Amino acid sequence: MKPQPTATALADLDALGRVRLSDHFFMREMLYSEVANLFGVPNIPEDPGAAIEAGAKLCTLLLEPLKAAFGHVSVRSAYRSPTLNGFCHELHNRGVTDSWCIRNEETYAHHIWDRRDAAGFRGAAATVFIPSYLDHFERTGEWQPLGWWLRDHIAQFDQVQFFPRSGAFNIRWYEGPNIRSVGYLDGSRRERLTAAGAPDFDGDHRALYAHIPALP
C-alpha cells in the first residue's frame, strides 16, 4: 500500500508553497509539474532552505525584471527534485516524453536548485514564456528579437535557451562565471544567437528589436 502523507508533512509542504521568493513569485508555482501530477512522483526539495535561497535569486534578479517589463510571466517548469528529474530523464530515454530532462548531475544548480554543481556553485533555472510576446511569436516564429532584448535588459542571467513551443525559454541565475549565452534548441537543431566574448555581444542592439511592438 502506498504510504499516506501525514498531517505534519502536508502542513510543511503547504508552508513551503507559501514561501515568497520575490515580490510576485511564490514557491508553489515553481513546484508544478505535469509529469509529477500524472505519475505521482513528488516534486519536493530535498534541501528546502537551499532551494529557497537559489530560487529567490532567480526570481528577484531575473523574473521580476521580466515582469516589470512585460507584465505576466508564465512559468512552465522551474524547480525539479532529483527524484522527479531522474524519473523524467528515464521517460525521455524511453521515448515516453519529449520533456528534455537531462541527467541529474547535468542539471544540478540548474533545474535542481538545491544541489550545487561539480564546481561547487549554486544556480537556479526556470522555463517561462511571455504572453505579451506570444502573438508575435506565433505569427512569425521569431525568437531572436526577444533574445536580443534579454541580452540588453536582463543583466544577471547566465544562460537563455529558447524552445519552439510558445517561444518558451530557459533562463538561469548562476553564482559562478556567467557565459551570458542566448540560443535556441529544437530537437537536434541548435543555434547560438550570442554569448559573452562573441563579436556581436557588446554594443547597442536596439535596431534588432525596435520594430517589435511587444518589446518595450
In a domain, 17, yes or no: no
Q: Which three cell numbers stand for residue 186?
A: 529544437
Q: CA-CA distance, 213 to 215, in Å (whole number)?
A: 5
Q: Which three cell numbers stand for residue 151?
A: 541580452
Average pLDDT over residues 28-52: 94
pTM: 0.92
More confident residue, 1 or 61: 61
Residue numbers of the domain that contains 84: 24-208
In a domain, 18, yes or no: no
In a domain, 160, yes or no: yes
In a domain, 8, yes or no: no
pLDDT at 1 exceeding the cut of 50: no
What is the tally of structural domains in the chain? 1
Average pLDDT over residues 45-68: 97
Q: CA-CA distance, 109 to 121, in Å (whole number)?
A: 7
Q: CA-CA distance, 54 to 165, in Å (whole number)?
A: 26
Average pLDDT over residues 104-121: 96
Residue of 7, 142, 127 whose CA lies nearest to 66:
127
Q: What is the pLDDT of residues 113-168, one digit of tens each?
A: 999 999 999 999 999 999 999 999 999 999 999 999 999 999 999 999 999 999 99
Answer whether 114's CB lies under 8 Å from 48's CB: yes
In a domain, 189, yes or no: yes
Query: 3-state DSSP call for residue 11?
Result: helix
